[in-house]
Chains A and B, each alone.
Chain A
Amino acid sequence: MEIKNAIAGTLESGDILIQIAPAENDGLAIDLDSTVAYQFGEQIKRVITETLTGLGVTRAQVKATDKGALDCTIRARVTAAAVRATGKDVWAD
C-alpha cells in the first residue's frame, strides 16, 4: 500500500502524536518516545503494530511521541494517521 507523510494526535498529557512516513524496507519501523516507556513501551508498540496491520499498513516508518495515552486513544490516533497516510477512509468503507 502506498503511503505518504501523515500525522495525527497531540502532545497533550494523555494523548499520543503519531507520525507516519514511507519506508525503504518492508515492515513497520516504530520509534517510540513515551513518558511511560518503562512500564508500557512494549504494549504501546504492540497496539500500534496491530492497528496498522489491521488496516493493511505493513511498510512504514512510525514516530510515536506518547504522553501516557490509553490503548483506545493510541488506536484512534494510529487509525487517523493511517487514513491520512493512505487516503483510504476506513470509516467510510
Chain B
Amino acid sequence: MNSIKERMALINEAAARMGKDTFKGTQEKNTTARTELTKQGAKVVTLEEAIKKTGLKDGMTVSFHHHFRGGDKVVNMVVAKLAEMGFKNLHLASSSLIDVHEPLIEHIKAGVITKISTSGLRGNLAKEISHGLMEEPVIFRSHGGRGSAIANGDLHIDVAFLGASSADPMGNACGYSRSENAKSICGSLGYALPDAQYADKVVILTDDLVDYPNTPNAISERNVDYVVVVDSVGDSSKISSGAIRDTKNPRDILLAQQAAKVIINSGYFKEGFSIQTGSGGASLAAVKFIRQSMIDKGIKASFALGGITAHMVKMHEEGLIERLIDVQSFDKVAAESLKSDPMHQEVSANEYASYDEPGSATHSLDIVILSALEVDVNFNVNVLVGSDGIIRGAIGGHPDTAGDSALSIIVCPLLRGRIPCVVDEVTTHITPGSSVDVVVTEYGIAVNPRRPELKERLEKAGLKIVDINSLKDRAKSIIGEAAPLPFGDKVVGVVMNRDGSVMDVIKNIVD
C-alpha cells in the first residue's frame, strides 16, 4: 500500500526536516485567454509610479544609456520628472552625455544632480562643468571600464532608466521594434545591458508597447521591474549626428587612404583578421579603402567590432566580414541589420571591452583605427578635453580597443585650424602611449618605437615613416607657440583607467 494518504506522515516529516510547509489545497486557475491576459502586465505603470515603486531615494544612483545619441529623450524626460518629484543629490550615471543633455545644467544648479559618471560630455553642459559648475568632479570611464565597474560594484546602480524602441508588458525589450507601430530604432542596446543586469531596479521606457513575447530580446523581462510607455524615447534620425559623419573632406580621405595602407602592410591583414573603427570621419572612411584591398586579395575578416556602421554592414552582406559584433549601432542601416541578421550580434559593454573579462571581444581584436583630439610625442592620446581645456568629447572605447588590439592606429590631422593635434604632452591622458602603435597624419606616419618590426614592414611597403617629434615640431613651426591655458585649481573631472585605477584629473578653466 502506497497512497498519498499513507505517505502524509512522511511528507509532513520531510517538510519539517527541511523547514518547509506542506503543500496545501489547490492553485487558482486563471482562464482568461493569454492574448488578453498578457496585454497588460502588472509591470506597466506611469513614470511617476515607476519611480515611486523603485524606492528611489535622495543620494541614490540613476543610470541611462546613450544609444539614441543626439536624439535621446529619456535622460531629460526622467531627470525633469525626478526634479518635479523633489529628488535631490542624485548621482547620474549615463553611458555617455551629449549636447542634447544641456537641460541637466539647470538640474545641477538646483541640486537634483550632484554627481555624474559618464564616458563623455559635449556642448554647453561640458563647457559649464569645465568652468566648475559642479562641486564633485565628474567621473569619466571608458565603455569597457564602465561595464567592469558596474559588474564589480565600483559603480553601483540603484535604478536604471533604459529607453527601448519596443518592449512587451513583461519588460522584454529591444533597440528596435518588429511591430507596425514602431516609432524609433537605435539598434544595439549594448551599453544598457550591464545596467539591466546589475541595477537594483530596472525601468524600461518604450514608445512601442508590443504584445508578449517581444523576442528575440536584448533585455530579458527577468531583469525588468517596470515598463513605462512614453510618446518618444528618441529621435532615430539623430543617431548618426555627433561624432559620426561620412566624410567628404579631402584631408580625411587622404588620412583614410594612409591608414588603409598601414593596415594592409602591417602583417595583420590576413585571412580571418578582425577589425574595429572609431567614430571619426577618417577612421570610418578607411574601411572603404580596406574593402577594395580585401576584394583584390581575396581576404575575408572574421568579425568587425564595436560601433557598427553602414559600411561594415555592406561588407558583411558582401561576404567580406563574416560576423558583426555590435555594442552600439552607429547609424540606422546598422540598427536595421542588427534587427534582421542573426550573424549581427548584440553584445553588452562587458562582452565588448571589459578589461577583466577574458572573453571580451576586444581581446580577440587584431586591428583598431581610432581618432584623437591630441597625440603627444610619447604616443599618449587625448579624446576628451579640447586644446582649449574644455571638455568636448568622450572616452568611448578608445583605451579599451587600443589596449587590447594587436595593432592600434590613431588617425588625426596635424592641425585642426590653428589647433595642433601632435603635441609635447596631451592636455588629458586618456589612452596610454604604451597601447598606441601607429599615428597617421597627412605629414607622415609615426610608429611607436616599441614596434620596430612594424616600422620595418611599413617602410618596406614604401610608406613615409617619420619621427613623432618631427610631426610635433612641424605643427609648432606653422602655428607658433601657444600660450598656456588658464587652468584653475579645482578638479572638475577624474579619468578612470579601464582597470579601475585613476588615470588623470581635469582641472577647471578660468576665463
Contacts and interface: CB of A to CB of B under 8 A. Distances in A.
Interface in B366-413: 387-389
Given A40-B480, A70-B479, A35 B485 contact: no
Contacts of A13: 417
A19 B286 CA distance: 41
Nearest to A44: B418
B485 A38 contact: yes
Given A36-B388, A38-B389, A39-B387, A67 B483 contact: no
A12 B368 CA distance: 32
A31 interface: no
B482 interface: yes
A35 B483 contact: no
Contact of B483 (A14, A42, A69, A70): A42
Nearest to A46: B480
Contacts of A36: 387-388, 417-419
Interface string B469-487: 0000000001111110110
B478 A70 contact: yes
A35 B390 CA distance: 12
Given A68-B416, A68-B417, A40 B479 contact: yes
Most buried by A among B389, B418, B419, B482: B418
B46 to A, nearest CB: 45
A27 interface: no
A38 B388 CA distance: 7
A38 B418 contact: no
Contacts of B418: 14, 36, 39-40, 68-70
A40 B419 CA distance: 10
Contact of B486 (A14, A38, A40, A69): A38
B251 to A, nearest CB: 11
B482 A67 contact: no
A14 B482 CA distance: 16
A67 B388 contact: no
A38 B386 CA distance: 12
A69 B416 CA distance: 10
B495 to A, nearest CB: 21
Interface in A13-58: 13-14, 35-36, 38-43
Contacts of B486: 38
Contacts of B480: 40, 43, 71
Contacts of A41: 483
B483 A38 contact: yes
A39 B478 contact: no
Most buried by A among B389, B419, B480, B485: B480
Contacts of A43: 480-481, 483
Most buried by A among B387, B482, B483: B483
Interface in B413-440: 415-419
Most buried by A among B417, B478, B482: B417
Contacts of B481: 43
28 contacts: A14-B417, A14-B418, A35-B388, A36-B387, A36-B417, A36-B418, A38-B388, A38-B483, A38-B485, A39-B387, A39-B482, A39-B483, A39-B485, A40-B479, A40-B483, A41-B483, A42-B483, A43-B480, A43-B481, A67-B417, A68-B416, A68-B417, A68-B418, A68-B419, A69-B417, A69-B418, A70-B417, A70-B478
Interface of A: 13-14, 35-36, 38-43, 67-71
Given A35-B417, A70-B415, 7 more contacts: A14-B417, A38-B486, A39-B387, A39-B418, A40-B418, A40-B482, A43-B480
